[in-house]
Amino acid sequence: MTPFLSIAAYALLPALALTVSGVWASFYPLGRKAKSAILHFAAGVIFSVVAVEILPQVVEYHDWLLTTLGFGGAIGMMLLIRQVTEGAHQPVQSPSTNAIPITFLVLLGIDVIVDGLLLGVGFAAGAKEGKLLAYALGIESISLGLATAATLRSAGSTRGRSIGLLVGIALVFLISAIGGATLLHNLSPTGLDLVLSFGLAALLFLVTEELLQEAHLTNEPAWLTATFYVGFLLFLLLGMLV
């Protein structure tokens, strides 16, 4: 299998995970605790990949200026997106069968594009990093699919339209991942340092400001918190074995 086909195959994992989980949730909605457990686990997985695979490479480049530019640029972009789309998760008061939460879908599209590009960055950094990131984003995509299906359902979107939107979002991820890997394949060490620093900050933002915040419940049992550390340990060990 050529490197391009290999990257495309691994990019299919998150795309299929998002679609299948979203379609499942359209027919069988999960309870709050089950959804929270998945979000905690996904946060632990992504944090593990960041700490074990991406962060050491950024430190190894030892260029404080590029790291600052990439990291700061990512945080600035994510904060700007949050500011612009602040009302994306507000509940819909009068749902209708044709309702589509446009702002939420814009935010989701940007998030998916960034995730796809990050997967491309991972393969640009190395095959091992790319594979682990594909697995991590696959688990994160499960929670994303569940959240998307729930949001569309609460907005009054029909099941058929929701499934169509989920497939479209998955295709956006697939295209951005393949595009990112193609564009970044021959990137210089300087450019790769900048992009990895950007991806590092974007993933940390995703974990701390989105996944964990959405995962926390009012009365959270200990086993839900433990799923974060199970996810972290699982991919820490996987990184040692791959």
Question: Domain ranges in the chain?
Answer: 3-23+32-241
CA 20 – CA 141 distance, rounded (Å): 10
Nearest residue to 203 via CA among 28, 46, 62, 67: 46
Residue 155 phi/psi, 5° resolution?
A: -80, -10
Between 23-37, 87-101, 219-233, the lowest mean confidence (pLDDT) is in 87-101
| Identity of residue 136 | A
Q: Give the gyration radius of the chain's Cα atoms.
A: 18
Query: Which of the pair, 32 or 124, is modelled with greater confidence?
Result: 32
CA distance 116 to 114: 5
Mean pLDDT of 84-89: 58
Q: Would you say residue 174 has pLDDT above 80?
A: yes
Q: What is the pLDDT of residue 91?
A: 44
Do the beta carbons of residue 156 and residue 97 sit within 8 Å?
yes
Nearest to residue 113, comparing CAs of 71, 72, 144, 149? Answer: 144
Per mean pLDDT, which of 40-54, 126-140, 211-225 is the most reliable?
A: 40-54
Which range is least confidently modeled, 82-91, 130-139, 205-214? Answer: 82-91
Distance CA 175, CA 165 (A): 15
